[in-house]
Amino acid sequence: MRFRIGSFNWAFSSQLTGYWVSLLVGLYSPLLAQSTVSGLVLDKASNQPVPYANIGIVGSPIGTLSNANGSFQLLLPAHYLTDSLLISHLGYTPQSIAVRAIKPNLVITLQPEPIQLAAIDVLAHRKSSRKSKRYVLGNKLANSSFIVIDTAQAGSAMALLIENKFPQSSAKLSGPIRIEKAAVQIYSNSFAEFKLRVRLLTRDSLTGLPGRDLLHQSVILTSRRQQGGWLEADLSSFGIHIPEVKFFIVFEWILDARDRRLLADQYQQFALAHPEQVRTDTTLIKGKVVPYTHWRGYQAGTAFSTSTLTYSLNNYQSFCRHNSQGSWQRSPHILSARVFVSPIDSHLVN
């Protein structure tokens, strides 16, 4: 097994029909000098803690979330001294701080953004005597699972591109739609309680990657589900209107530092107790050799159901982000997630 300095970093997947769990192991060289940044994120208006703020260096392996009390800790290798730390949260104006200017016990105050209906593209509409038909879009198939765990970084997420894949049966979805609810399938969970953040992102027209947020306030799902199954988020009250059926549904793992360390300790203890059930291998992803650690008969944390079936791979696109400000990368696993939408009739819109 490979280690960061005092931390683990991995993503793993398991086939539902098999016994082995594969973990993608990351590595920071122990020879690299690095410092620890600790701080607190506060609401500038109320001076109250801002939980689960995204903190990190954009497009890098460096990123975390603030804890429920607004505190955070982040490891910064020396070669990032010329970069800037971005602190963001839905509903607040993002703030950027030069790494060289960071002082001990950093206190960051975020300015709440005024709620502007135009910013989330909310449309007023007349009531219709016809009940609007609801459509379900996304991938419902599953034959594997996926999770990202890192004791030093946080804010990992998976995204599924939502498109109208069957226009022959959903012709009315060619125009604007309203988002009603979103759902993700949980494969397994070992926590007494877990949290996920739901996000809706545009599709960047140039890169095809997840783009800007369509929601402008944080939507946190809290669940005590111990067994696998679908977990839903009601988004109907946000009145979100999207002009075309091409956007991303995103589910972000919310784990504080204690839970991340707990998971790392559990895997470490299992490896010590059952070394014969842990083996290291490599795989080739986009021309790069990536190390994996395979675990047989063990899985901890909250894992999403995913699909590696040919049908899902041919019809859907998923992306993964390994920390809160990291870059999105194409995932070989298709997230099992769905979005419930209804068409907006143009003659009903003011």
Q: Is residue 17 domain-resident?
A: no
Q: What is the pLDDT of residues 159-171, one digit of tens each?
A: 999 998 765 556 6
In a domain, 8, yes or no: no
Q: Which residues contact 12 (CB under 8 A, 6 or more apart)?
A: 21, 22, 23, 24, 146, 147, 149, 292, 293, 295
CATH no. for residue 59? 2.60.40.1120
The total domain count for the chain is: 2
Residues 204 and 66 in one domain: no
pTM tops 0.75, yes or no? yes
In this structure, are 92 and 127 located in the same domain? no
**Whole domain around residue 295: which residue ranges?**
120-348
Of 75, 95, 113, the position where a domain reaches its end is: 113
* Domain presence at residue 18: no
Domain boundary among 96, 113, 130: 113
Radius of gyration over alpha carbons of the chain, in Å? Answer: 21
257 in a domain, yes or no? yes
Assigned domain for 298 exists = yes
Q: What is the pLDDT of residue 13?
A: 53
User: Token digits for 154?
Assistant: 């946080």
Q: Are 273 and 207 in contact (CB under 8 A)?
A: no
Express each pLDDT in 257-270 by its tens digit.
888 888 878 878 88
Residues 250 and 327 in one domain: yes
Residue numbers in the chain where pLDDT is lower than 50: 1-10, 15-32, 116-130, 346-350
**CA–CA separation, 306 and 185 (whole Å):** 8
